[in-house]
Amino acid sequence: MGNIYDGVFRTILNDCRQMIIPVINEIFKEDYTGNEKIEFHPNEHFMDQQDAADQERITDTNFIIYGKKKKKYHLECESSLPDGWMTIRLFEYDAQIALDEGEVINEILTVTFPNTAVLYLRNYKKTPDKMRYVIKTPGGTLEYDVPIMKVQEYTLEDIFSKGLLLLIPFYIFSHEKNFKVYNSNEQRLAELIAEYRSILERLDKLEQEGIIGAFDKRTIIELSGDVIREIAQKYENVQKGIGGMMSGALLETEARTILNRGKDEAKKETALRMLQDGELSIDKIAKYSGLDIAEVELLTGLQ
C-alpha cells in the first residue's frame, strides 16, 4: 500500500511511538503500561532472489518492546481488498526480519519471527478475522495465526476509552460509504462535522490532563487532515466541511504553541533580570517568574 495512508501510519508510529502500546495491547492482549522502551528497526529489507538481483521490500514498521520480556513486533497497514498476496508478502517480510537478526552458533541457525498483525482500514466481505501461517518442514509442521485489526469496527468511544489514538487519522474510513450523502445533504454533513468537533474537544481535554502532549495532538490533527484530503478528494463539501475544520484546528494549535513559547521566553527573561539583581533567592525567583526551580537553576549559567 504505497500511498498516503502508508505514510500516515509510519509517521504517527515514528513521531508518537508510545501510541502503539495501546494498539499492541488490544491486538495481542498484552498488558504493557506505556512506560516500556520501544526500539524501531529499519523498514528496508532485501529479499534474496535466485538468479536475480536482490529485491528491496519496505515493511510498514517493525520494532521491539522491552517489557517483562523482549518482544519483536511487525505491523502492516492495508486498505485494499484481501487477495491472498498480502499473506505471502507478510510472510516474506517476517522471514527476512527473522533472518536479518538470526544467529549462527556451531552451524546452528536460530531465527526469531516477530509477533505480526495487520491493520485493515477498509472492511470487505472477504476480509478475514485472522491470517494463518502453516509451515511444513522435514522436522514437522508449525502453525500460528496472524491477527487482524479491523479499524472500521472501532467506534469513537472504543478509540478514546481504550487509548487507541493512533486510529484517529483513519477514523474517517468508517464514514467513507456515506460521502455521497454528506456531500449533498447539509444536515448529514453537519452531523459529521459535529462528530469531528467532538474529536478535537476530546483531544484538547487529553492535552489539558497531560495524557498527551501538544506535539502528539498536533500530529493526530495534521495526519487526520492528510487522510481526509486523500479519501474525500472527489467530495468538495466533505473536504470543506471536516477538512477545513481540521486545517483550522491545526492553525489554532500552532498559534497556541507559538503563544506559549512566547510566554515561556518572557518568564525566562524575568527570571534572568531577577538573578542579575542578586537580591532574591532561587526559590523566590521561581515563585515570582512562574518557572520551576530547576529551570531557574539552569538560567544561573547564562548570567
Over residues 39-86, the pLDDT tens digits come to: 987 655 444 444 444 444 445 688 999 998 999 999 999 988 878 888
> What is the side-by-side strand order in the sheet with 130-137?
37-40, 61-66, 70-78, 115-120, 140-150, 130-137
CB 97 within 8 A of CB 74: yes
More confidently predicted of 150 and 278: 150
| Residue 144, number of CB atoms within 10 A of its CB | 12
Grid cell in block for residue 236: 468538495
Highest mean predicted confidence (pLDDT) among 8-12, 198-202, 272-276: 198-202
Residue 128 has pLDDT above 60, yes or no: yes
Q: Which residue, among 157, 159, 136, 134, has the nearest Cα to 149 in the 3D structure? A: 159
Mean pLDDT of all residues in 84-109: 90
**In Å, how far are 129, 151, 155, 162 from 27, measured between CA atoms?**
12, 11, 16, 12
More confidently predicted of 159 and 124: 159
Residue 283 has pLDDT above 50, yes or no: yes
pLDDT band at 250 (very low <50, low <70, confident <90, very high): low
Mean pLDDT of all residues in 291-301: 75
Quote the pLDDT of residue 252.
Answer: 59
Quote the pLDDT of residue 288.
Answer: 67
CB 165 within 8 A of CB 19: yes
